[in-house]
Structure 1
Amino acid sequence: MKTMEIIKINTKQTNKDYFKGYFSSHGIQIVIFVITFVLMSVVSFFNIATSKTIVTFDINEYEVGQVADRTITASKTIPEDDEYSFSIYKGETIIKKGFAISEAGMQKLERMASAPLYIDWRAFANSMLVFLLVISLAVFLYSKPVCGYNIQVKEQIFLSIMFILVFAITVFASKFSTFSTPFMLPVIIPSSFVIILITVLFGQKSAINFSFILGLGVLYAAPVSVVPSLFVLCAGIATVRIMRSIQHRMDMVSVSIVLGFLEAAFLFVFKIVYNNIDSTTLFAVLGVALNGFLSGILALGFLTPLESLLNTPSIFRLTDLSDLNNPLMRKMLLVAPGTYNHSLLVAQLAEAACETIGANAILARVGAYYHDIGKMEQPEYFAENQQGENKHDDINPKMSVLVVRSHVKKGVEKAHAMRLPKEVIDIIEQHHGNSLIQFFYYAAKKQGLEVTKEDYSYMGKPPTSREAAIIMLADTVEAACRSLENPSVPRLEKFINKLVEKKNEDHQLDKSGLTFADIDGIQQSFVTILAGYYHSRVKYPNQTDPDEDEVPTVHEK
């Protein structure tokens, strides 16, 4: 009996600790969801309060002479005013089931529907259920197992703001007669504009997921027809597809033109499917075409400040950072030329590997360019910059380790000072993980010093992304293969496989998300690049060793 009580107590304590830990680690996300829910509720309240509804039925469903299908009684007293010269009293029967609706009864229905006292609380409760469904869908689509990454707070805030913006515009626009029809409402909904921003700032997966969430939100905001919701969904998916091939900011102009034509085509098809070709068709089609075109142009203007504010690794930001003529890279070329060339080759290896497995190739290239910027303060202590003299010969292994591993910390500090995207900073911080600095560890042991592996290891954490792991492997492989004699393809394959297996055995790849198939593809891409880099060259006739004293005369035939 006591054992069972102890088990129950331990179970309760475990559950309590679990929920406490969950809320402490996800507290900000939960707060954002609550705030989003409240703002959606405010917009919904406005929508319901300004709609002519009685109980849960639209006033347009009733007309004079119609046989009522239900009995409606007044739940509150409504006094007369300038527009209506009659009063309605609490408990008064307005229409009775089975009887025709009189003109006086119809006027009272209209009075009840337009009165601010008559808020359709059942419709408001229905909206709460819809919002819970939207949030549940968002939690599912942006969970790590589905989207493949942990959503950051800034992304969640931005997505929430964009959803509320589109939802509110849809609700408010539907109140105007010009946009009250389901085929005119898409003209004013800025869904493509929002999807473009999300695609560039947070990636295609995030934008696709948001398109489905937005479609559900618009479906509730415009309940007259599913056309606005279908249009938003189709336009969103098409926008993401178009944005896949862009590389430069000016590509947004062509995106705008294509998007304008596609949106016009979507709406025209819906018009045909729903047999709604009328006098407003031309205006509606031209309107959505203009919507699509302006979405791209406006997004181009908003992207630069948003990239700076959110500090995201957008395609445009990464393209700018990959320019080797920027001041930092030019300085590296001057003060640490060996590190500069090493970084270029690591970038080439990492980019090829990412393309092989479908990872973010341009992020890997930029991360590789900047992964060793911490070496610029003391470049002479790193092998690729040494020419004969080795600074480590004059200091003990313990000091050497402090100097070598400090380049990671200094690199992270430089990256923060430059406001590099977090994803690039993570690569700088994780490209050595917490691996052992073997050369100095064994040198210290050889000298008889008392050593521990922790004192001779890097202080970072193992890679948490595929791109960071690839750069770790590319960095290791490039540095090690420089010392490989006769780097033939079989020798490269064997040597690279050994290096990668060592990283895997040391648990450096455990949290990277790489599969065994990915690792095989990465190794093969490394071999292909390095085999081309180290290929043997043909010795030309009369080619001599430059160290020889005599230079023979070359006789031409």
Structure 2
Amino acid sequence: MDFLAYISKIRSFLSYKVFTSLIYFILALLLFGILYHNMKPETYDMELFSVADKTIRSPKTIEDELKTKEERENAAEAVDNAYVFKKEMAQNRVSLIASIFDFVKETNLESIRLPEKNEKEQGKGEKVEEKKGDAASALENRLKLLKTKLTANVTEDVTNSISDQILISLLQADALQLQNLKDIVVHQVEAAMNEKIREDMTEVAKMAIADKIKATGLPKDLADAASELGQYAIVANELYDESLTEERRKQAMEDVEPIKILQGQIIVQEGHLIDRETYRQLEMLGLLKSNPTLKPLVGLGIFIVLVIGTLYIYLSRLTLPEEKKQSHLLLLSLIFILSLIIMKIIGLMEKANLNEIAYIFPAALAPMLVKIMINERFALIMTIILAACGSIVFHDGITSTIDVEIAVYILFSGLAGVLFLSGRNERSHILTAGLFVSGINILLIFFLSLIGSGQFTATEYFYYGLYSVVSGLLSAIFTIGLLPFFEAGFGILSTMRLIELSNPNHPLLKKLLTETPGTYHHSVMVANLAESACEAIGANGLLARVGCYYHDVGKTKRPPFFIENQINIQNPHDRLPPETSKDIIIAHTADGAAELRRHKLPKEIVDIAEQHHGTSLLKYFYFKAKKANEGISEHDYRYPGPKPQTKENAVISLADSVEAAVRSMANPTPEEIRSLVHAIAQDKLLDGQFNECDLTLKEIELVKETFCETLNGIFHSRIEYPDFKQQKVIRDGTTN
């Protein structure tokens, strides 16, 4: 019993979805188990303040967030406070001082006009009393008036900031003194305020302006007044800007590059003490057994989901029967797991100090097997997935997470095998493909070494080249060796298997030739017709040809009952009732299928034997029986089917009928052949024999045209040679 038979038993107990899900689940588990060791982070049993018994390097590049945070905080603290120099404040303070002097002058003028106005109000010739009040009262009134003006017109609280004594000194000064005093104070304030003055420097600036004003030689009371006004005018003009300071600190923090522990960096050397900082780094990297990290395993889980998802999406979109999809999935899974096992074995050899032996991996094995047994697209998908897996299995845990170089090597090596086999069906091309892959591998080795400016010795190049050649040859040898096992186990009908089945030395074909020579000849003729027609419509011509060779194997059970084998014998059907003849003729499809299954021929060939007559009517025996019994059922004289399910089976069905009909004609003309082909095709079409396959009307027309061309080549007109006996009579001079 083959592999598929066991699978069919399991499948019979489970639904399609459950069985398919089970395959995906098992594949995921196997993939996880194979790659787990390569992704599992290495951990160490170390304690704080213990001595390291080995040198430990970082397996990956990682940001030290704590150190980065500290460095950024230090950078922010190192930024000085930002101050903004307000140039306009100099003019504002000058204007303020000038306004004070102006209000003093204005107050003095108003105090002079007020007595004159009072004298006029007392009457003409009347003498105004020169001393209405004492001088103190007058000065006090002027002071109040000045304060009122300052309070009403100046935004600052000048009256509380400047003492009354200063204001009185200003009010008592004459106009010339007041103007001189104003010029001095304004000049000194303007000069001082044009310099940058911070808050903590205002007292120094005030003392400086006081000294400068006093040095001008003014009278003491005026000098004191001017000095106090000057000091009052001095304020900080370089002010702290909180938002600018924060912005600069933020920029300083952003300018700090993240502190990283680089991949391959030594964390602790053998014999050194594991201090707090070293222990923290080991803990952060997940290298301590007490605190391992699960991130790599989570990453592996995501990778497996991607692999399984890719296979699921692609398979789900194929327009194939569910059973076929499951067979493809099983085959892909077995080839994939086999390749991973080989990969792991080579990976273990690499760890045994056999450097770069990863290049000996037969990267083209799986792609070529899949290309031959399924199709090219699946082979390309398999190549990409294997390249990704190889980058994990062969990576150096100290210096890298994945090995990109080996991934490129596996990818292009696999692609080379797939592309070389495209359109080549013979097994001999597998070895040639292996040699081609070896050549591509050598080019890849030189590419990878030169692009990295590698300095390799001649010996190293020799070994790399040897690994590359062995990789290609192993791919070809394993493909040739494993192909028969997969084909037999899965019942896969590959191109190479078809070529083998077309060998005339096959036991069934030899039996067909020796026991039913007429049927054998008929099968070969039908094969010629079917192959050319299938190739014309894009179907599998080779499958059609080989299927035709075996489609009438059932006739070997009762050869004389089929007309092509009735040589110099009477037709046995003449002595049998139509019911018996019908049963014998119809049985040849079931007998043929049983014989093919007994010889374990592929399912596609068995289907051709079962379906090449579909459910067509045995018209000759049906009408013969109808003459004797009008109530006979047409259904009883039809083949059991099923109807053709594929294009190839439909074309063979049509070719079988056409060849038998044309062979029965004596010297058919092209017009007669065309008319007959059209009639047979129309009859099968109207009878619904093509209803269950995807053969289109356009393709049927193309098939008919191809049949006519092929038959015209077979039944072409021949030269009519003269009768040799008549020629002898003429030469001898005799007559009949």
Asked if Structure 1 and Structure 2 have the same fold, meaning a TM-score greater than 0.5 normalized by the shorter chain, the answer is yes
Instruction: Render the CA deviation track for 1:34-87: whole Å, top value 9, x for unaligned.
Output: 21112122234333324569xxx9633269x9974589xxxxxxxxxxxxxxxx
How far did 1:420 drift?
Answer: 0.8
CA distance in 1, matches of 2:291, 2:601: 54
Cα pair 1:68 1:98 within 8 Å, conserved: yes
CA distance in 1, matches of 2:69, 2:684: 74
Which of 331, 354, 366 does residue 194 from structure 1 map onto? 366
Instruction: Render the CA deviation track for 1:117-144: whole Å, top value 9, x for unaligned.
Output: 6554343333333322222221233346
Instruction: Render the CA deviation track for 1:450-494: whole Å, top value 9, x for unaligned.
Output: 233332211121222332222222212111222345533333233
The answer to whether residue 696 in structure 2 is matched with residue 509 in structure 1 is no
Which of 407, 410, 414 does residue 232 from structure 1 map onto? 410
CA distance in 2, matches of 1:554, 1:410: 56
Number of aligned positions between the proteins: 501
Instruction: Render the CA deviation track for 1:88-126: whole Å, top value 9, x for unaligned.
Output: xxxxxxxxx979999633356447744556554343333
What residue number does 2:721 align with? 540
Which of 485, 489, 508 does residue 670 from structure 2 map onto? 489
Instruction: Render the CA deviation track for 1:300-351: whole Å, top value 9, x for unaligned.
Output: 2333344333332233332222111333322222221111110111111122
CA distance in 2, matches of 1:190, 1:35: 24
The answer to whether residue 312 in structure 2 is matched with residue 133 in structure 1 is no
After TM superposition, the score normalised by the length of structure 1 is 0.78
The answer to whether residue 663 in structure 2 is matched with residue 445 in structure 1 is no
CA distance in 1, matches of 2:702, 2:385: 35
Counterpart code for 2:657: T
How far did 1:371 drift?
Answer: 0.6
What residue number does 1:253 align with? 431
Cα pair 1:173 1:179 within 8 Å, conserved: no
How far did 1:370 drift?
Answer: 0.7
CA distance in 2, matches of 1:228, 1:416: 45
State which drifts further: 338-347 or 143-152.
Answer: 143-152
CA distance in 2, matches of 1:167, 1:235: 16
What residue number does 2:133 align with? none
CA distance in 2, matches of 1:451, 1:290: 71
State how 1:218-367 maps to structure 2 within 5 Å: 218=390, 224-244=402-422, 246-272=424-450, 274-279=451-456, 283-367=463-547
State how 1:450-529 maps to structure 2 within 5 Å: 450-529=631-710
What residue number does 1:391 align with? 572
Which of 317, 324, 327 does residue 151 from structure 1 map onto? 324
CA distance 1:353–1:170, change in 2 (3 Å): same
Aligned residue for 1:59, secondary structure, equals coil
How far did 1:291 drift?
Answer: 0.4
Counterpart code for 2:536: T
Instruction: Render the CA deviation track for 1:366-390: whole Å, top value 9, x for unaligned.
Output: 2111110000011111121224622
CA distance in 2, matches of 1:336, 1:448: 34
What residue number does 2:125 align with? none
Instruction: Render the CA deviation track for 1:2-31: whole Å, top value 9, x for unaligned.
Output: xxxxxxxxxxxxxxxxxxx9x723443222
Cα pair 2:365 2:414 within 8 Å, conserved: no
Highest relative contact order (Cα 8 Å, sep 6+), 1 or 2?
Answer: 2
Cα pair 2:41 2:293 within 8 Å, conserved: no
What residue number does 2:96 align with? none
How far did 1:414 drift?
Answer: 0.7
Rg (Cα) greater in structure: 2
The answer to whether residue 735 in structure 2 is matched with residue 555 in structure 1 is no
CA distance 1:145–1:294, change in 2 (3 Å): closer
Cα pair 1:140 1:146 within 8 Å, conserved: no
Counterpart code for 1:490: E
CA distance in 2, matches of 1:226, 1:58: 19
CA distance 1:155–1:42, change in 2 (3 Å): same
Instruction: Render the CA deviation track for 1:227-270: whole Å, top value 9, x for unaligned.
Output: 44443333323212322454544443323222211222244345
In structure 1, runs of 5+ residues without a counterpart are: 1-20, 72-96, 545-549
Instruction: Render the CA deviation track for 1:156-206: whole Å, top value 9, x for unaligned.
Output: 22210222333455567567766999x958614433112222233334454
CA distance in 2, matches of 1:175, 1:113: 24
What residue number does 1:61 align with? 61
Which of 296, 299, 305 does residue 123 from structure 1 map onto? 296
Cα pair 1:141 1:209 within 8 Å, conserved: no
CA distance in 2, matches of 1:70, 1:543: 113
Cα pair 2:40 2:296 within 8 Å, conserved: no
Counterpart code for 1:24: S
CA distance 1:512–1:194, change in 2 (3 Å): same
CA distance in 2, matches of 1:400, 1:117: 85
Percent identity over the alignment is: 28
CA distance 1:390–1:265, change in 2 (3 Å): same
CA distance 1:131–1:242, change in 2 (3 Å): same
In structure 2, runs of 5+ residues without a counterpart are: 1-11, 45-56, 71-257, 262-266, 269-273, 396-400
